[in-house]
């Protein structure tokens, strides 16, 4: 339920404001960093626990759950990735589970954790890291650096340079080839980061708007939206994972 001493506009702004320190470029969103690290630790704890309890006999529920996740990510890699790398499958699994948990924080009641934080003297708290453009771009830029790394590693400096200069129109259109290649490469992290941010930000905003309604009507809207939003958060985690695999697969391909 919306705080009684805030206007609707103030309430929305309050929930869309990060807990920050620093100024300008060196501003850190402490809530985004905190929840990202905590959710990453949760994933590590789950997989470590599953690994310790793993058995060749009848698997337990946790082992079954982790194996299903692993086989799901591994299948996507086998269907999409055409190179050879021991990193891609673990990376795909990490991305899917981490982004999914970040997105799933949107299913918590809007005022629950911010209210608890306010009791501890914390004025602002955004609990969904993927609604922070800094977080989604940090992940997409990390993928971009991996793309560059594998492009140089697989194709070599000379091969990657030739690809930039001569693809797709050949040696007579080098300036156009360079422009198109730069647009193509920079579009990857931008679209990857903005897609995740835009969908989750819109979902968060709808939950906030529902929280502004009278308490007796909130559940009639929030429950159907939460069920639909469960599909969105899963789909966005899947898309981020698949596009990462596709981009890294393209980095492994050599043009002749």
pLDDT digits (tens, 9 = 90+) for 76-109: 998 888 777 788 999 999 999 999 999 999 999 9
Q: Please give the Cα distance from 196 to 40 (Å, whole number).
A: 18
CA angle 46, 35, 28 (to 5 degrees): 145
Smallest Cα–Cα separation from 43: which of 87, 98, 100?
98
| Mean pLDDT within 208-221 | 88
DSSP-derived 3-state class of residue 182: helix
134, 142, 195, 249: the active-site residue: 195
Question: What is residue 4's predicted lDDT score, i.e. its pLDDT?
Answer: 53
pTM: 0.90
HSE-up of residue 213 (Cα within 13 Å, Cβ side): 12
CA angle 51, 55, 56 (to 5 degrees): 130
pLDDT digits (tens, 9 = 90+) for 185-196: 899 999 999 999
140 carries an active-site annotation: no
118, 199, 222, 249: the active-site residue: 199
36, 191, 222, 249: the active-site residue: 191
Q: Please give the Cα distance from 234 to 96 (Å, whole number).
A: 9
Residues 233, 104: contact at Cβ < 8 Å? yes
Residues 165, 75: contact at Cβ < 8 Å? no
| Mean pLDDT within 11-16 | 92
Residue 84 DSSP one-character state: -
222 carries an active-site annotation: no
pLDDT digits (tens, 9 = 90+) for 126-182: 999 999 999 999 999 999 999 999 888 888 888 888 888 887 777 778 888 899 989
Q: Whole-number mean pLDDT of the chain?
A: 90
| Mean pLDDT within 208-217 | 89
């Amino acid at each position: 339920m919306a705080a009684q001493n805030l206007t609707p506009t103030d309430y929305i702004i309050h929930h869309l404001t990060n807990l920050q320190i620093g100024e300008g470029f060196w501003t850190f969103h402490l809530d985004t960093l905190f929840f990202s690290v905590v959710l990453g630790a949760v994933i590590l704890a789950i997989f470590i626990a599953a690994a310790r309890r793993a058995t060749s006999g009848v698997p337990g529920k946790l082992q079954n759950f982790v194996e299903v996740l692993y086989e799901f990510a591994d299948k996507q890699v086998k269907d999409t990735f055409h190179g050879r790398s021991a990193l891609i499958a673990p990376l795909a699994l990490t991305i899917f589970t981490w982004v999914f948990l970040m997105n799933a924080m949107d299913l918590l009641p809007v005022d629950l954790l911010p209210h608890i934080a306010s009791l501890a003297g914390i004025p602002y708290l955004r609990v969904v890291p993927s609604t922070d453009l800094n977080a989604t771009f940090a992940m997409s830029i990390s993928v971009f650096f991996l793309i560059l790394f594998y492009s140089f590693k697989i194709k070599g400096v000379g091969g990657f340079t030739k690809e930039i200069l001569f693809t797709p129109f050949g040696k007579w259109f080098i300036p156009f080839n360079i422009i198109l290649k730069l647009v193509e490469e920079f579009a990857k992290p931008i679209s990857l980061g903005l897609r995740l941010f835009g969908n989750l930000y819109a979902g968060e905003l709808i939950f906030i708007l529902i929280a502004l309604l009278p308490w007796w009507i909130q559940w009639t809207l929030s429950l159907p939206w939460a069920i639909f939003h469960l599909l969105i958060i899963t789909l966005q985690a899947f898309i981020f994972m698949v596009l990462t695999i596709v981009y890294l697969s393209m980095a492994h391909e050599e043009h002749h």
